[in-house]
Structure 1
Amino acid sequence: MDYTKELSNIEQKVGNAKIEKAKLEERIEHLKKEQSEILEKLKTEKVEEGNLETSIEELEMSIQKDIEKCQETLK
């Protein structure tokens, strides 16, 4: 068995996994930043409190789902 070839394949897979993980972590950070920006925008627009809470909950659920998808892919 050609161990150097097998080692090269393993190193390539590990490298690809690290790249994918870095991309997903970057996406998670982007989503968190986006969430903060949206919340701040809603506050400055003085959306009614009841509507604000509903809007925030919907946005948080949507963003949380995206974060969970990214984290699941990282595993």
Structure 2
Amino acid sequence: MKRLAFVLLACVLSVPAWAQHSDKETQEDIKRHRAMAAAHEAAAKCLASGKGEKACMEQLAIDCKGLAIGKYCGMRHAH
């Protein structure tokens, strides 16, 4: 009986893994990823121009606001 309960619980908990995005959700994800990539490309160009890390990271934070998890579109360097 315990084994059956465990199997049923495992099935219930794994249901979200089976869920697929709708076409609309997939298109929204694509737009978000492109926007994140554009924000990071702009940050790279900013750094390459010599503006300095502080100014470039401030702009990246602005560009990423509401776009992804975290202040920097979900990415931050380890230095």
Q: CA deviation at 1:36?
A: 0.5
Structure 1: gaps (5+ residues): 1-10
Contact 1:35 1:63 (C-alpha < 8 Å) held by counterparts: no
Structure 2: gaps (5+ residues): 1-19, 70-79
**d(CA) in 2 for partners of 1:70 and 1:54?**
20
Q: Which has the higher contact order (CA 8 A, sep 6+)?
A: 1
Contact 1:35 1:60 (C-alpha < 8 Å) held by counterparts: yes
Asked whether 1:17 is paired with 2:17, we answer no
Aligned to 2:45: 37
Aligned to 1:70: 67
**d(CA) in 2 for partners of 1:21 and 1:53?**
28
Q: Which has the higher helix share?
A: 1
Equivalent residue pairs, number: 50
| Deviation larger for 52-61 or 14-23 | 52-61
1:39/1:31 CA distance change after superposition, 3 Å: same
Moved over 6 A (4+): none
**d(CA) in 2 for partners of 1:53 and 1:19?**
32
Aligned to 2:55: 55
